[in-house]
Amino acid sequence: MSQDYSDENILLGRNPVREALRAGRPINKILLAGGDSPPLRELGRLAREAGIPVQQVDRAKLDKMAGGLPHQGVIAFASVRDYVEVDEILARAGEKPFLVILDEINDPHNLGAILRSADAAGVHGVVIPRRRSASLTPAVARASAGAVEYVPVARVTNIVRTVESLKEKGIWIVGAHMEGQLYWKASLDGPLALVIGGEEKGLGRLVREKCDQLVSLPMLGRVSSLNASVAAALLSYEVLRQRGRAQYERLSHRGRL
């Protein structure tokens, strides 16, 4: 089945993409036509220096995506807003940060829904991987019902290394996994990062092994798991509940990040 790109912020052509890279515009991914063209090599180099994923594709695929418009062998997918650094989220959060880390959430509607519940539950920021993950597209923005404007999102190269770095900073890493402790029995009121796995495979093995604790949601019916965005919402609100009334009152009056 062919992929639908009608809902992406697309930049076509060498000059628009080059200037977007030089201006530091947030870009999710760049597609380059195969071949050894010096201008395309330059664009690939600029993108990699900026940490932007680059994919080599057939020119016919670019022709189809461009819908007959000239693309000169390059198409870029631009983000709907800037990404931030994880340290920036921590600096804004203060002494008791609450982060949500998403391990390869690929459905943009799930990502948008998670941002919406994260905003409602007082999450200080969301972390996603650069690759194999939904990014900040118009579809995500719509599914978030505006929360994309308020919840900072950091995009990192390696989730495992990010988890290790957070642990060194004294943040407790809690992963959602069916073999974990029932979530209401877990202590979730300290500096914390909640890790939610992808829609199909859940938490990756390496990420799971790095978690300080695993928590689960009870499943009394015949379906073995919940949608990732539903799990994220339930667990986020449990963190809010455990942080208590004082935390709720502070969050209800706080300024937006």
pLDDT tens figures, 166-215: 999 999 999 999 889 999 999 998 999 999 998 778 888 999 999 999 99
Mean pLDDT of 18-38: 85
Mean pLDDT of 149-177: 95
pLDDT tens figures, 71-115: 889 999 888 888 999 999 999 998 899 999 999 899 999 999 999
The confidence score (pLDDT) of residue 66 equals: 84
The confidence score (pLDDT) of residue 2 equals: 45
The confidence score (pLDDT) of residue 176 equals: 94
pLDDT tens figures, 118-150: 999 999 999 999 888 898 888 888 899 889 889
The strands making up 192-197's β-sheet, listed across from edge to edge, are 153-156, 125-129, 98-103, 192-197, 172-182, 213-216
The confidence score (pLDDT) of residue 1 equals: 35
Crossing angle between the packed helical segments 86-93 and 159-168, to the nearest 10 degrees? 30
Domains of the chain: 9-78 (3.30.1330.30), 86-253 (3.40.1280.10)
Compute the distance between CA of residue 164 and CA of residue 156 in angstroms, rounded to an integer: 13
The confidence score (pLDDT) of residue 160 equals: 96
Mean pLDDT of 2-20: 73
- Burial letters 49-82, b for 16+ CB under 10 A, else e: eeebbbeeeeeeebeebbeeeebbbbbbbbbbee
Q: Where residue 4 falls among pLDDT bands split at 50, 70, 90?
A: very low
Nearest to 257 by CA among 81, 76, 68: 81
CB count, 10 Å around CB of 84? 18
Mean pLDDT of 220-237: 86
In sequence order, what are the beta bridge partners of 55?
A: 31
Residues 6+ positions from 161 with CB-CB distance below 8 Å = none
DSSP state of 170: T
Using only C-alpha atoms, what is the Rg of the chain? 20
Q: What is the mean pLDDT of the chain?
A: 87
Strands (DSSP E) contained in 53-138 are: 54-57, 74-78, 98-103, 125-129
Q: Between vectors from CA 182 to CA 116 and to CA 185, what angle results, nearest 5°?
A: 95
Look at residue 257 and tell me whether its pLDDT is greater than 80: no
DSSP state of 37: -
How far CA 123 is from CA of 67, 75, 182, 195, in Å, comes to 40, 34, 21, 13
Mean pLDDT of 208-228: 86
The confidence score (pLDDT) of residue 254 equals: 56
The confidence score (pLDDT) of residue 239 equals: 95
Look at residue 15 and tell me whether its pLDDT is greater than 60: yes
The confidence score (pLDDT) of residue 229 equals: 93
Nearest to 202 by CA among 212, 190, 214, 191: 214
The confidence score (pLDDT) of residue 256 equals: 42
The confidence score (pLDDT) of residue 84 equals: 94
The confidence score (pLDDT) of residue 169 equals: 96
In sequence order, what are the beta bridge partners of 32?
A: 56, 74
